[in-house]
Structure 1
Amino acid sequence: MVYPQPKERCPCPHPLAGPIIWEGTFNIDILNERFRLRNTTIGLTVFAIKKYVAFLELFLKTAEKHFMVGHRVTYYVFTDRLGDVPRVPLGEGRQVVVLEVRNYSRWQDVSMHRMEMISNFSRQRFLRKVDYLVCADVDMSFRDHVGVEILSPLFSTLHPGFYGAAREAFTYERRPQSQAHVPRDEGNFYYVGDFFRGSVAEVLRLMSACHQATVVDRAHGIEAVRHDESHLNRYLLDHKPTKVLSPEYLWDEQLLGWPAVVKKLRYVTVPKSHRVIRD
């Protein structure tokens, strides 16, 4: 079969263009066939704790329309409210697995303990069940195609709020006392903590390292400025992602609009009041 060749670079003249996944830089037909031949299974983890369970139905419904369509997917729902998990019609080869976890009084603690919980379940369950693990936030929805073009041993997503910003603007943890510390003359990109993924083995290494770093910080009375996102960025500085996703793959249209350089909005934030939902 003959396929049109994808462009090697993003067509837009932007300093972040290059080895980053944009619309037009991949051929989804070829990639779909490749991953189907491997019988690939993708795990998608999502935390629906306390009031955040209200976002779960929209998340699952839109994922069924746009996330890894045609491939085997297991949704791993971490929740403290088992009775509130909605029943959503699923495609062939797709299932929801509900995992009960405790909640925490502060949303920051929920965020920080995600690394620990995913790390533990990776050892107990994920290593035997799925090939790739995608970690996503529940207060989001899929609006367009998100498929196997994102799969790689270790991959992360550019933070939309720092798209095109200079390194000096990145909100890295700057205190040398923290395990998440990034010196001011280091770092190429700032990655968002809401959407990252990789092979299960690589995600396990990432989660375990970040969790241990938070344990050390906590023992010294330190909480990183951006919580688990700070530790994620420190880890990715030392362990470069094998694939980086453009802001198409995570965007806040309400806050940032829809600039022409972003051709598709694939995974977007849901409008909400953080004060109300985190109370």
Structure 2
Amino acid sequence: MQSKVAAYITCYQDQESANRCIQAIESQSFKVRAIYILDNSKKPLLLNNNSKLLLIHHYPNNIGIAEGLVKALEWAIAQEYDFLWTFDQDSLPAKNCLENLFEIYNKLSLEYGDKIGIIAPTAIDQKTGEVIQGTVFVGDQFIGCKHNNNVDFYECDSPITSGSLISITAAKTVDPPRAELFIDGIDLDYGLRLRQQGFHNLIVTTATMYHNFGNPIKVKLCQRDMTIHQYSSLRNYYINRNHTYLETRYAQGLCRVTSCGRRIKYLLRRIVTILLFEPEEKTLKVWACLLGTFHGFQGKLGKTWC
């Protein structure tokens, strides 16, 4: 019996990207039964609903990615779906992506039973061609999980949100994503909590998805070629706040102290990067990083940067 799958997309102010994502989902060789859209744009986007699969919910006050995911999971549970396939609007899954995810899921379900929490594709940055890594939490920080193309799949604590196929059976057993994170770090927290409850989170190498990951630029620093990502002030604030909050709370014992040190080191490195390479709003972006880190240590969450 084929699994009952719905897709979910968070949309914000980018009609073209949203419609491309919708088309990519509709074109899958394994068909979804509905696409739950959360549109955080000030004015409703004009979205193509040729297949009549779209269920559009407009929130002009922008409730964020985290609360949108909470609402979509609640809906999927109420509608008795088996899986929710979650997306950012700027992602494009390959045509056989979902089919390949289920091919691995069906093989592993014999071994893991109902203990698969998330099964996700290999996410590739459209601008750099590099694999966007899932993460594992080690001691006092989240670190990238090295991609291994020589296997069909590998485990991590937290795949990125976009492309994640979330088991509704698993979603029923853990608290939903933290709405107060708003944006950034939602995947880190939710994936790790699933792992702590004994679920397996997997990245499938045969399933691919293209994703826009920040705004990467090539720079030279101390005679080294580097790729850095440019972010808006809003993103700088939430990245610093949420990662500081999550890492210092998940760390245990002495690792809490070293985690605080790592977050301050990251803050200083980010400030230097902004001052050297950002073309505009340097002062505002530095302030966003400082305030975000301070609020992260404080535990002040919610939609606090507008």
Pairwise CA RMSD of aligned residues? Answer: 4.0
More strand by share: 2
The correspondence for 1:195, drawn from 163, 176, 198, is: 163
Whether 1:244 aligns to 2:198 is no
Structure number with greater Rg is: 2
- Unpaired runs of 5+ residues, structure 2, are 106-113, 124-130, 144-154, 216-230, 236-305
Whether 1:156 aligns to 2:103 is no
| Structural mapping, 1:230-241, within 5 Å | 230-241=188-199
- 1:73 CA drift (Å): 2.4
Higher RCO structure (Cα 8 Å, ≥6 apart) = 1
The correspondence for 1:133, drawn from 84, 109, 117, is: 84
- 1:54 CA drift (Å): 3.7
Name the structure 2 match of 1:86: 47
- 1:116 CA drift (Å): 2.9
Name the structure 2 match of 1:268: 210
Whether 1:229 aligns to 2:173 is no
Name the structure 1 match of 2:33: 73
Q: Give the whole-Å Cα distance in 1 for the aligned partners of 2:3 and 2:196.
A: 28
- 1:242 CA drift (Å): 4.4
Name the structure 2 match of 1:48: 11
Alpha carbons of structure 1 residues 244 and 88: separation in structure 2 relative to 1, 3 Å: same
Q: Give the whole-Å Cα distance in 2 for the aligned partners of 1:40 and 1:126.
A: 13
Partner SS, residue 170 of structure 2: helix
Give the fraction of aligned pairs with identical amino acids, expressed as a percent: 5
- TM norm structure 2: 0.49
Alpha carbons of structure 1 residues 87 and 268: separation in structure 2 relative to 1, 3 Å: same
Alpha carbons of structure 1 residues 226 and 73: separation in structure 2 relative to 1, 3 Å: same
Partner letter of residue 85 of structure 1?
A: L
Alpha carbons of structure 1 residues 139 and 100: separation in structure 2 relative to 1, 3 Å: same
Alpha carbons of structure 1 residues 118 and 165: separation in structure 2 relative to 1, 3 Å: closer
Partner SS, residue 232 of structure 1: helix
Partner SS, residue 236 of structure 1: helix
Partner SS, residue 147 of structure 1: helix
Alpha carbons of structure 1 residues 248 and 84: separation in structure 2 relative to 1, 3 Å: same
Deviations 1:131-184 (A, max 9, x none): 321112111112341134424552233774447999579626xxxxxxxxxxxx
